[in-house]
Amino acid sequence: MRKILIVVGSGVQKGNTNQLAQAFEKGAQEAGHDVQRIVLSENIQGCQGCGACQKNSHQCVIQDSMQNYYALFEWADTIVLASPLYFWSISGRLKCFIDRLYAISQDDQYPYKETVLLMSAGDNHFWTFEQALSFYSFYTKALGWKDLGHVLAGGCESEPRYIPTQKLQEAYQKGLHL
């Protein structure tokens, strides 16, 4: 059974992305996996590139909510990155999370993980998620992680929040059959 950490890079607890993540979580729990989900709705700063972590036992000097997440990241064997599409990319919050993991890297090497990408967006063109997928592909390959696939939910609405039921079902199935 997997130890899964779902990282939701949206500030909106009841938003489309967290709903997608919760559908995935439901499927994964039903399959017997151990799942933790964090929503990056609190303050999370970007990496300031000071390099202190590399001289300081891999501890980041920035004291914010990220400090609560390092242990969860180390615990998990599977990382699910969930993000709204912001200007054709992942959200700033999720990028901050990713950048701050630099603290635990050793000689640019990261712990091995297997990963899934979940995303929501307003548009629903065939190219809507192209840039985000490209980033995810480069990122996972560079770190030597295994990509377990993705669920891309285009056609969402924000006022009020709406995510197609079919996409929630897809995320549930992804979690169930991971």
Ligand X SMILES: Cc1cc2nc3c(=O)[nH]c(=O)nc-3n(C[C@H](O)[C@H](O)[C@H](O)COP(=O)(O)O)c2cc1C
State the residues that interact with ligand X by CB under 6 A: 10, 12, 15-18, 84-88, 120-123, 128, 156, 158, 161
**CB of residue 43 to ligand X, shortest distance in Å:** 17
**CB of residue 61 to ligand X, shortest distance in Å:** 29
- Of all residues in this chain, which one has the CB nearest to ligand X in the complex? 15
Q: Which is nearer to ligand X, 129 or 172 (CB)?
A: 129
Q: Which is nearer to ligand X, 8 or 103 (CB)?
A: 8
Look at strands 114-120 and 146-153 and give their pairing.
parallel
Q: For residue 142, which of 166, 106, 174, 109 has the smallest C-alpha distance?
A: 109
Sign for the CA dihedral angle at 47, 50, 56, 62 comes to negative
Q: Which is nearer to ligand X, 2 or 26 (CB)?
A: 26
Residues written for the chain: 178
What is the Cα Rg of the chain in Å? Answer: 16
In order of 22, 24, 39, 59, 63, the CA distances from 68 in angstroms are 20, 23, 12, 12, 10
Q: Which is nearer to ligand X, 63 or 127 (CB)?
A: 127
**CB of residue 122 to ligand X, shortest distance in Å:** 4
Distance of CA 142 to the CA centre of its chain: 16
Q: For residue 85, which of 43, 134, 146, 47 has the smallest C-alpha distance?
A: 134
**CB of residue 96 to ligand X, shortest distance in Å:** 15
**CB of residue 109 to ligand X, shortest distance in Å:** 32
Q: Which is nearer to ligand X, 86 or 102 (CB)?
A: 86
